Structure 1
Amino acid sequence: MDIAGIEKVKGFIITLNNYRKVYNNYYSVILKRVLKNDKIKVNIRNGPNTFLGNDEVAKFAAIFANLYPYIKIITIDNHKIIFEYKGKRITLVDWVYGGSEAFTDYNWLNVSGKDVLDVGANIGDSAIWFALNGAKKVIAIEPYPFPYEIMLKNIRANNLDNIILAINCGIGKENTKIKVTKEATFRGSNLKASKEGVEIPVYTLDYVIEKYGPFDILKMDCEGCEYEAILNSKNLEIFSQIQIEYHYGCENLKTKLENIGFNVKCSNSVKVYNPHADNPNMIVGYLYAYK
């Protein structure tokens, strides 16, 4: 078997395990997905019996499988989910555009009573998680209008307007403007100019810090903007903890932060091919910096 064949087998095993985690009737669900049924009856573990669309069946398994057994699904349809996870009740509108890493990968950050800057907030799931875990203030930055509008709905749905401020802007090496698409965007899309769409501002990280700060915590997942943002910033010392998902290696980021007094650790990286990025051949992992 060639490498491509091996990867397909690995992918099938992962998918099968995810379905087993989330669906009591996973054999029936898989069969109906293969048959391309538009409406599939699902018996959700720690949740209700209901019907989901073909794509939503796959998305639910992919997004929420790694939260089991700590998650309880209160209600779910193709557009909205309400669930309990580790003692927190969360509502997500248009949940298929989110990701479970918002509830698992940032628990290292001590956000309780802190001001958090969330760069790359997508539909607001990570910002909501920070707020529910005691953050005093969260500035949530998302450049693309489609997920940004969803984020606004999710902030309202969770009654967190008094804690989370969503800003529709990009982060770059200089303050400027860019026209971006209003259409649905894929998670993993870096900031790209569009001939049609709406104009949004692009700010330097220092401008955001000066305008909306001070901050204690920085979370950054912006599909490559981390290099221009971090390497050109002169105000990073205000943060006590920084977590960055790096996409093209961590060495330059690590050196910059160590030179200004941070202790820095980088996770093991993995090679990822992301067709939605300008440079699709990524080297991805997390950088953790603290004082």
Structure 2
Amino acid sequence: MGTLENMKLLMKNFKNWLGIGLRIKFTQTKQLKVVLRSGENYVLWRNYILALLPLVKKGMIANYAITCLLEDKIPFGHDFVIIHGWIGENNKSNGDVIDVFLNEDYRFLDVKDRVVVDIGANIGDSAIYFALNGATKVISLEPYPYSFAFAVKNVKENNLDERILLLNAGYGRDGTELVNENLESNHSTALEPVENGRRIIIYSLKTLVEKFKLDGAVLKMDCEGCEYDLCNEDEEVLRRFSEVQIEYHYGVKGLVEKLRKSGFNVKHTKSRRIFYPGAEKPMMLGYIYAIKQRQQD
């Protein structure tokens, strides 16, 4: 499991906590039998158990948390959000649902009564979060048809069709790309053009600003490396945003300088080195937070 805290959560909620912890830590067992302290028995995919721990940490009773996971529900505020496609059989996982709704990784952004440009929409979790936090409009870009289809379903399921505009598109230099429409993309899938596939539009920020007449908007970026194309944007374009949050994947070089030069106060988290099999080089992950400086009278 990796942490003492997780083992304590297992011990508190499961009679067979030690066996669960050892199997998850040292084996590739796909399904595990779990026995709750209440005596109830379940056979769960290991990704359900890993998703369960943050829920019980937040105070949910284990059997109720399991029911929510099986019904694609995630608690948020005094209600639930329905997110399909983030967890499933055969240990499939997608989206950043725990970080978005439980840990609220985007709480830095003040989206109330603002338009949000959401680059890297994935299955729509962040877009739904922004809408539920008062954004007047969320313009979301997701290049891969597989994740995009879940985003469409999730937005509709949560009755947010009028607040969230989903675009099956990517970010970068203006143009088009062919993407693999059969790829079961996830939240870590970078945009990789292919020779044969579905043609999607690639939008620059300049084009998005002009197309949607943006001014004082909020920008969120989590697109597995495409964030560095922001360095090619005009400073005047970036000034049309009031706040920016970027998950960077290969260090902050270029991004921080560009934002500061464009008139933002910028801070960032310390980089975490991650070795991801699909990445072209070791990742250096973290967040950049930027707020536009007020103009002096």
Name the TM-score, length of structure 2 as normaliser. Answer: 0.80
For each residue in 1:39-71, what CA deviation from the matched residue of structure 2 results, as whole angstroms up to 9, or x when unmatched? 6446499xxx6745424334524xx62783166
Displacement of 1:289 = 0.7
**Would the aligned equivalents of 2:178 and 2:196 in 1 still touch at CA under 8 Å?**
no
Q: 1:113 to 1:67 in 2, by over 3 A?
A: farther
Displacement of 1:102 = 1.8
Q: Structure 1: how far apart are the matches of 2:262 and 2:23?
A: 56
Displacement of 1:140 = 1.2
Identity %: 35
Partner of 2:9: 21
Q: 1:149 to 1:187 in 2, by over 3 A?
A: same
For each residue in 1:170-217, what CA deviation from the matched residue of structure 2 results, as whole angstroms up to 9, or x when unmatched? 111232232334221232121002344322221212112222341510
**Would the aligned equivalents of 1:180 and 1:200 in 2 still touch at CA under 8 Å?**
no
Q: 1:230 to 1:87 in 2, by over 3 A?
A: farther
Q: Structure 2: how far apart are the matches of 1:246 and 1:258?
A: 16
Partner of 1:287: 288
For each residue in 1:255-284, what CA deviation from the matched residue of structure 2 results, as whole angstroms up to 9, or x when unmatched? 11111211111111111112222x231111
Partner of 2:90: none
For residue 258 of structure 2, what is the amino acid of its counterpart?
K
1:222 aligns with 2:186: no
Q: 1:13 to 1:177 in 2, by over 3 A?
A: closer
Corresponding residue pairs, total: 273
Q: 256, 267, 270: which one pairs with 1:268?
A: 270
Q: Structure 2: how far apart are the matches of 1:189 and 1:44?
A: 38
Structural RMSD (CA)? 2.9
Q: Structure 1: how far apart are the matches of 2:5 and 2:283?
A: 26
Name the TM-score, length of structure 1 as normaliser. Answer: 0.82
For residue 288 of structure 2, what is the amino acid of its counterpart?
L
**Residue pairs, 1:70-109, within 5 angstroms:** 73=65, 75-78=67-70, 80-96=71-87, 97-99=94-96, 100-103=98-101, 104-109=104-109
5+ residue gaps in structure 1? 1-11
Q: Structure 2: how far apart are the matches of 1:221 and 1:87?
A: 27
Q: 236, 240, 249: which one pairs with 1:238?
A: 240
Q: Structure 2: how far apart are the matches of 1:125 and 1:115?
A: 16
Stretch of structure 1 that moved more, 255-264 or 210-219 = 210-219
Helix, strand or coil for the counterpart of 1:185? coil
Stretch of structure 1 that moved more, 82-91 or 18-27 = 18-27
